[in-house]
Structure formats: C-alpha cells, structure tokens
Chain A
Amino acid sequence: MLGRKKFILGLKEKLIEKLLFLCSFLSVLTTFGIIFILSAESIEFFKEVPVLSFLTDTQWTPLFVNKHFGILPLLCGTILTTFIAISVALPIGLISAVYLSEYASDKTRNIIKPLMEILAAVPTVVYGYFALLFITPLLKKIIPSISGFNALSSGLVMGIMIIPLVASLSEDALRSVPNGLREGAYALGSTRLQLSFKVIFPAALSGIIAALILAISRAIGETMIVAIAAGQQPRLTLNPLVPIETITAYIVQVSLGDTPHGTLEYRTIFACGMTLFLLTLCLNIISFKLKKKFQEIYE
C-alpha cells in the first residue's frame, strides 16, 4: 500500500514539474512566435520590395499612389526622438542616481523611490497628451516657428518618462559597488563628490552603460507619445521642430486604418516591426551581457 502511495506521489511530483516547465517554456515559444510572425510577413514583403531599396530609398510613402519603401525616414525620426529623450534622461537620471546612492539618507530614499516608480507607471498615452497639449504650446512661446506636431516635444517628454528607468538601474549599479571602496576613499579624505565620480562611478561604469543601452532600447520602442505628438510625416531630417514619423508611430497609423490583410501595405508594418525588433534585440542583449559581467565582478 505504502509503495503505491509513494508511486502516485512521485508521479504527481513529476507531473507538476513538467507542467511548470511548460509555463516557462511558453516564454521561448513567445520569442519564436514573434520571430516567426515577423519574418513570415516580412519575407512576403521583401519579395515585392528589394531589401536594398528598403534600406537605401530616402522616401517612405507606402500609402500614396507613388509608392516608395525606404525605411530611412522612419529610422531617422526614431533616432531623432531617441536622441532628444536620452539627452534629457541620461544627465538627470544619472545625477539622481548618484544623489540617491551616495547622498540621500535611507529615509529620503524610501520616499523618493516610490514616487519615481509612479512617474514610470503613468500610461504613455497620458504622456502623449501632455506632450501635445502642454509641452508643445509651451515650446511655441519660446520658439515661435515650431510646428504643432514635432520631434522636440515628444522627445523631451519621452526623456522625462525614462528618467526613472535610468535612475533606478544606475542606482542599482552604484550601490552594488562594495563598501570597502567607499570607506577607503573616505579614509583618504575625499568628499562625497570626489568619491562618487572618481571611485564609485568608474567602478560601476559597465552597469551604468547597461542601463543607458536599455534606456535607448526603451526610447526606440516607445510608441504612443510619438504617435500623438510627433506627427505622421516620414521625413529625412534632423530638424526637431518639424513633424516627423517614427517606426512605431507608423505601425500605429496603419493599424488604425482598415488596411486589408494580405496587401503590401499590411505587410509594411511587419517589415517595420522586424526592423524595430532587431534593433531593440541587439541593444537588449548587449545590455544583458554587460550587466551579467558587471554582476560577476562584484557578487
């Protein structure tokens, strides 16, 4: 009897393990699903549009009569807004991280970190509203020539949105530097500022770069802010004052229209998605590797 009970118990254990394994395997399936769906439609797309003209044509007009399929204008818009966002988020996020890690008391940190989390939790559509109806009118007072839709205001707001990401990831990196280094520097008479930038910062550099790369990846993939506030005009320009369009905003634009399944226009969003996926995948993997390496040094 006992043997039988043990057998059933063992069977149950095995079954549960298999079930739990399947749960985690679903994540692998998700990745394969993404790659499969994106490539299946992209391959169809590239049968009609040569890869070379996709990568080098300077116009993106798939919805016009005179069709051009050059990703460059969309890529340019994406890079432009990302650059503006990072120029805001990197300095502010890093200074905040150094302050939180080296200056702030535990009590201050316990109040500020949850507030930062709330800043990060605001839905992006809300930030889009804010960019279009608050920041753009504000910018118009300073730069009268700015268009109603522009890369600048969406880039700025996107920057504000990713400050918490940069701040909290860099703070993690700074804090994981062993305390011995801090004590050593203090013993030599350095101030907190000297300690932060001459000792802790270099020691945590790879972790901080990992955070920066993740922030770039996040900015590239951000969708609603640019879809609302940056306009829908693919344009090969680095002028932040005129309407542009990003890869993500184009996907939203086409999804909103009733583009029939199986047409070339429908497939453009998958080709765009593929570009976006490859870009962010590379950045995410680099960031992950850097972080792993960084953790190996200090843990």
Chain B
Amino acid sequence: MNRKALNNFWDKLFKLLGITSISFGLLVLLALIIDVIIDGYPRITLNFFKSFPSRKPEMAGILSAWVGTIWIMVITALISIPIGIGAGIYLEEYAPKNKFTNFIEINIANLAGVPSVIYGLLGLGFFVRYMNLDRSVLAGGLTLALLVLPVIILSTREALRAIPSSIREASYALGATKWQTIRNQLLPAAIGNILTGIILAMSRAMGETAPLITVGALTYIAFLPQNPVIIKDSFPFMGISFQGLFDPFTVLPIQIYNWVSRPQKGFITDAAAGIMVLLILTLIMNSIAIFLRYQNQKRVRW
C-alpha cells in the first residue's frame, strides 16, 4: 500500500472506531431497558399503582412513592422556576461587569458541580434541623429546588443571550423601560428555550435519590401526605390545606432503592417495575425537552 492509501485506511478505521464508541453507550442503554422490561413487566398492573409498599413482594406497590414524587416535584417547581428565571434575568440583563458579578458566576458554575448528596447534607442541616421542618416533604422539595436552581439559571441565561441586541435597542427606542423590554420582548422570545431547561431540571429532580435519603425521606411508608384539597359537606364544599407539606414522604427512586437492596427475589421484580415507570417518565420529559428545543431552533425569528 502506498502512503496515501494507508492514510485513508487509518482514517476509515477511526471512523469505524468512532461509530463503535458511540454505539457502545447506546447499546448499553438498550440492554438496560430490555433487562428492566423482562424483569419488571409482569408487575405492571393497576394494583401496583394503587398499593402501598408491603412485606410481601407480590402485594407491594408504588402508591406512596408516586404521590410523594408529585408532591416533591410541585414544591421544587414552584420555588426553583421563579427564582431561577429571576436570577438568570439579573445576571444576563442587569448585572454590571465587575468582580462581584464574576464571583456570582463562578459560584453558580461551581454549584452546578456540587455532588447532589452534599445538597442533602445542606437540607438536613438547614431545613430539617435549623428550620425545624423535620423530615417533611417541604424540606425535601426545598432541598431539590436549590439543587436544580443552577440548571434553570444557566438555561435562562443562554436563552436570553441568544436574542440579538437589536430587539432590546428597538424596544428602548420606543420608550420602553428595562423591565418593560424584558417582560414584553425578551421573555416571550426566550420562553421556549427556558422551558426546555425547566423540563430538564424537573426530570433531574424526579430521578434524584441521594439528597432525599440524606434529608430523611422514609423507605417504608404506608400513608400519603394529607391531600391539599379537602372536600367538605358544607359550603364552599372545598378547602385547601397545607398540612401535607409537613408530612413524611417517600419518592419513586427511593422506593426502588429500597427494593433493590432487599435479598428476596420478588422485590427485584418490584424494583424493575418501579424503574420502568421512572424511566418512561424520564424519557417522556426529555423527549418533550428535545422536541421543544428542536422546534425553537427551527423557528427563524431574526
């Protein structure tokens, strides 16, 4: 072979290696999904969603787990979304270029890299002990809100940065104030990309296990946090109660962890079934996020 052919040969070989490398991770993902379906499919029945955990594997279900997951995600979303977007807007539109802003930026980049279990320790020390929230669903939600905040801040900033400055200048030229510009021009334009970030953040919150274990979520729980909507006999027939915020809780990933760590074979089936539910929810949320981003990229606006 001459030199050129040899070079081309190596080039082709590397291309093959590249395709193999990329397929490797994806094949593992496929193996994982198939493995979980084989193990868990028989347990996916309506009863599995309607039952509390039990000592008997074939009776056990994920009722308290999925209700807990919804509680946690709603609390996390309510706190992290407004604060995250607000912080993103400040850093991108208001913050002066100085040492302090730089410090905040390094700080957020670093927070995004802090291991999640450390947030759990923060939650345990601050929310559970110092604020006396005990091992409640509120303490868990607050902890996860801090955890996903950097994700939302970063995606808000990126979304705002993508808007050309001509939009801002045009708005100012028409006499709009800074906030009017942000509210009426920038946010509507950026909302698609911000939403993508929010969905990814919520998907992350749904799968987090370690920080909630540290905060003190229970692994065996046979009741639900008190329903926020109370049906009454007399007018106005409905009431809202926040008592549930202070109840103990578990979430889907923790229930799965609990089942995985038990020796009986039956619980492995329960774990696999729980994973199927968790994986399907994760896949749906991520697909929506990816689709949204794709749509936003397609829309040529400027």
Jot down 16 A-B pairs with beta carbons below 8 A, ordered by A: A20-B86, A20-B90, A24-B91, A27-B149, A96-B22, A98-B14, A99-B19, A100-B18, A122-B207, A129-B272, A167-B22, A196-B14, A221-B115, A261-B129, A280-B115, A288-B110
Among the stretches A68-76, A233-241, A269-277, the one at the interface with B is A269-277
Q: Which of B14, B18, B82, B282 contacts A122 (CB 8 A)?
A: B282
Instruction: Please report which residues of chain B, range 245-302, place their CB below 8 angstroms from some CB of chain A when the two chains form the complex.
Output: 253, 256-257, 260-261, 268, 271-272, 275, 278-279, 282-283, 286, 290
Identify which of residues 177-219 in chain B touch chain A, using a CB-to-CB cut-off of 8 Å. Answer: 177-179, 200, 203-204, 206-210, 213-214, 216, 219
Q: B90 to chain A: which residues have CB within 8 Å?
A: 17, 20-21, 23-24
A177 at the interface (CB under 8 A from B): no
Asked whether any CB of chain B lies closer than 8 Å to the CB of A143, the reply is no
Would A193 and B11 count as touching, CB distance under 8 A? Answer: yes
Residues of B within 8 A of A (CB): 7-8, 10-11, 14-15, 17-19, 21-22, 24-26, 28-29, 31-32, 35-36, 39, 82-84, 86-91, 94-95, 103-104, 106-111, 113-122, 124-126, 129, 146, 149-150, 153, 177-179, 200, 203-204, 206-210, 213-214, 216, 219, 253, 256-257, 260-261, 268, 271-272, 275, 278-279, 282-283, 286, 290
Task: Please give me the 8 A-B residue pairs with the lowest Cβ-Cβ distance, nearest first.
Answer: A221-B115, A99-B18, A123-B207, A23-B86, A37-B125, A24-B87, A20-B90, A223-B210
Q: Which of B10, B25, B177, B286 has the most CB of A within 10 A?
A: B25
Given contacts A24-B95, A26-B149, A28-B107, contact A217 B35 (CB under 8 A): no
Q: Does A139 contact B (CB under 8 A)?
A: no
Interchain CB contact under 8 A, B210 and A134: no
Select from chain B the residue with minimum beta-carbon distance to A35. Answer: B122
- Residues of chain A within 8 A (CB-CB) of B87 are 20, 23-24, 26-27
Whether, in the assembled complex, A92 has its beta carbon less than 8 Å from a beta carbon of chain B, the answer is: yes
- CB B71 to nearest CB in A, in angstroms, measures 18
Chain A, 93-110, CB within 8 A of any chain B CB: 95-96, 98-100, 103-104
- Please pick, from B94, B115, B260, the residue contacting A248 in the complex, using a CB distance under 8 A: B115
Binds B, one of A180-188, A199-207, A250-258: A250-258
Given contact pairs A99-B19, A276-B117, a sample of 19 additional A-B residue pairs in the complex whose CB atoms are under 8 Å apart: A12-B179, A20-B94, A24-B88, A30-B149, A34-B121, A96-B25, A100-B18, A100-B22, A126-B36, A129-B260, A130-B36, A134-B31, A134-B35, A220-B115, A221-B117, A224-B209, A251-B121, A255-B213, A283-B113
Contact A27 B178, beta carbon cutoff 8 Å: no
Q: Given the complex, which residues of A lie within 8 Å of B283, measured CB to CB? A: 118
**Distance A214 CA – B257 CA, assembled complex (angstroms):** 27
Contacts of B208 in A (CB 8 A): 123
Contact residues of A between 115 and 160, Cβ < 8 Å to B: 115-119, 121-130, 132-134, 160
B22 touches A129 (CB 8 A): no
Instruction: Find out whether the CB atom of A273 lies under 8 angstroms from the CB atom of B121.
Output: yes
- Number of A-B residue pairs at CB separation under 8 A: 267
Residue A87, interface by CB 8 Å = no
Contact residues in A for B204 (Cβ distance below 8 Å): 121
Interface assignment of A228: CB less than 8 Å from any CB of chain B: yes
B116 x A221 contact (CB < 8 A): yes
Report whether B214 and A251 are in contact in the complex, using a CB–CB cutoff of 8 Å: yes
Pick from A30, A103, A218, A288 the residue with the most CB of B within 10 Å: A30
Is A16 in contact with chain B by the CB < 8 A criterion? yes
Distance in Å: Cβ of B159 to nearest Cβ of chain A: 15
In the assembled complex, the CB of B249 is this many whole angstroms from the nearest CB of chain A, namely 15
Asked if B118 contacts A119 (CB within 8 A), the reply is no
Contact of B25 with A118 in the complex, beta carbons under 8 Å = no
- A119 CB contacts on chain B under 8 angstroms: 25-26, 28-29
Q: Which residue of A lies closest to B121 (CB)?
A: A273
For B216, list chain A residues within 8 Å (CB).
255
A227 is an interface residue with CB less than 8 A from chain B: yes
Inter-chain contacts of B91 with A (CB < 8 A): 24
Given A126, A251, A252, which contacts B32 in the complex, CB threshold below 8 Å?
A: A126
